[in-house]
Every structure is written in structure tokens, then in C-alpha cells.
A = this chain, B = another copy of it.
Amino acid sequence: MIDRLIEKIKKTQAPIVVGLDPTMKFVPEHIQKKAFARYGETTKGAAEAIWQFNKAIVDAVCDLIPAVKPQIAMYEQFGIDGLIAFQKTVDYCKKKDLVVIGDVKRGDIGSTSEAYAVGHLGQVKVGNTLCRGFDEDFVTVNPYLGSDGVKPFIKVCKEEKKGIFVLVKTSNPGSGEFQDRLVREEDGTERPLYEIVGEQVAEWGAECMGDSYSNVGAVVGATYPEQGKILRKLMPKAFILVPGYGAQGGKGADLAHFFNEDGLGAIVNSSRGIIAAYRQEQYVEYGAENFADASRAAVLAMKEDIAQALAARG
């Protein structure tokens, strides 16, 4: 699956993933009204609103980008109805030939991680029949439980030719609280925990290579460019999924270090910055009615910003 992602990045010339993280306040009123008229102010109404919102944005940007990243929490908050909208979004994006990264941050002990892996990337056995639950191309994985919590995902990735991104250094302000802790190594030297996790990602990734990059990637926040630089070297074959661009404070210039010299190796996520572009001053002229066009303009601006940052590093 990493090969397909790379092929799509090359084709679109855009190492960009649009985060489909719809909160109700981002959904324009006319869409909310229509959904509530049909289903009331219910979880079903909310799910209909975010599905229509997503669909319009995907239609407007799908030719420009290689991938989308729906954040499952934003759907799960509406319970079953929200998760149905998640599934519809995943399936629709795949139909539009987009690579779908399910931002699920799952991770558990071995047998339980296996269930998550099967439920999001693989097939589950029912009697003598193989069925699919959700069906993303990649998912994000939380490594806190160790290798036996991650390897079941890798097993399913191999079987299904899919991929994962393991949380290494997250974009949030408090990510350092545990991830930056200095850990003593056997030889007496000290390194932050995220480096240890990053090395582990490289090791896990060696088991599951595509043509030039591994199907096991890493999540490293745009908000931590210095750490990105170090991790880029520690995991040369890992694609880095970079959240935190835009609304969270990461800038184009911060991103250069996340890429390898081949111009590949990273894919930058923007969520609010794209899907709620119509609420930003610079796109306000589009108006709420044309929110999807504003999203398209924001994708083009982001593409340019990243291209400039990569060109500037020489």
C-alpha cells in the first residue's frame, strides 16, 4: 500500500493528506439544517450532516490529493450513527481512488490488537466465510503496549498489502510529557523515548517493505521539526505522517526536515485548515455555501507552501 501511496503522491505532486475530522461547528448551517429537517437533532442527523459535508469536500479536492485521513473519534462521538458515516466516508474515498488512512490510534495486547487489525485492515472469519468490518488502507497505531501490540497489525498488513503509521512523537503541546523522557540505554547513554520508539518502527518496518519505503510508517508532529530531523535519519525507510500543520501551528518551512532527499518520505496532514477553510479570513469571500471551493483553494495553497519549503532547502 505504501507503493500505491507514493505513486499517487508523485502523480498529484502533493505530499498532502486531508484530515476529514468534521466537528459540527465546521459544518455550514445550510447542511446542518437540511440534515436536521430530515432526521431531527439526533445522532443520525449529525451523521448525515458530516457525511454530506465530507462528500462535498472530497468531490472538490479528490483530483488534487493522494490521500485522506478520517479521524474516527469525530465520528465515534455520535455513536453507531457516527460510525456509519465513518464507514460511508472511507468507502466513498476509496471509490474516488484516494488512499484512506484511518486515524484510529488503536493498540492493545496481542490478541486484542489482532481484532483491531482485522476489523480495520483485514478480514474476519465468521463460520467459514471471510467478512470485512471497516476497510481502510492504513491505520494509525499506538505503541505504548510494545511489540506484541503492534505486530498483529503488521501481520495483517502483510496479508492484505496494507500499512500502518505508528505514533512516535505526536503534535500536541503535551506530547513531551512521556515521549520526551530521557531513557537510559544499555551502554549508559541516554535518549528520549520517541527515539527508542522510532528505532523500533524502523525495525518493525524492515519486515514489511514496499519497493523503496516500508508499509510501517510513523507519526511525527509538524510542531516538532527538530525531532523530525532526528527521526527522519533514524527511520530512513519509514514514511512519516506529519500532523499539526496549519491550525496546530506547524509551518511549511518546518516540514523540510521530514522529507528525504528523494523528495519523498513524508505526507503532511491538514484537517481544519482545509475542511474549515471557508471560516478563515483569507477564504471568507467564498462564503459558507461554497465551503468546498474554499477547501480546494486551501489545498492548492498548502501544496504551494510545501513545494516552496522543499525547493528552499536546495
Interface residues of A (CB under 8 A from B): 21, 23-24, 32, 36, 40-43, 45-46, 71, 73-74, 76-80, 82-84, 87, 105-113, 115-116, 118-120, 124-129, 131-134, 142-149, 167, 170-179, 181-184, 190, 193, 196-197, 200
* Contact of B197 with A43 in the complex, beta carbons under 8 Å: no
* Contact of A45 with B126 in the complex, beta carbons under 8 Å: yes
Q: How many copies does the complex hold?
A: 2
Residues on B with C-beta less than 8 A from A196 are 178, 181
Measured CB to CB, the closest approach of chain B to A34, in angstroms, equals 12
Residues on B with C-beta less than 8 A from A184 are 181-184, 190
* Contact of A179 with B146 in the complex, beta carbons under 8 Å: yes
Residues on B with C-beta less than 8 A from A182 are 183-184
* Contact of B126 with A79 in the complex, beta carbons under 8 Å: no
Q: Which of A43, A107, A126, A145 has the most CB of B within 10 A?
A: A126
Give A148 to B248 CA distance when docked, in angstroms: 14
* Contact of A77 with B42 in the complex, beta carbons under 8 Å: no
Residues on B with C-beta less than 8 A from A77 are 115-116, 118-119, 124, 133
Residues on B with C-beta less than 8 A from A40 are 129
From B41, B110, B118, contact of A128 by CB (8 A): B41
* Contact of B172 with A110 in the complex, beta carbons under 8 Å: yes
* Contact of A78 with B124 in the complex, beta carbons under 8 Å: yes
Give A83 to B227 CA distance when docked, in angstroms: 38
* Contact of B193 with A113 in the complex, beta carbons under 8 Å: no
Residues on B with C-beta less than 8 A from A172 are 109-110, 145-146, 148-149
* Contact of A143 with B144 in the complex, beta carbons under 8 Å: yes
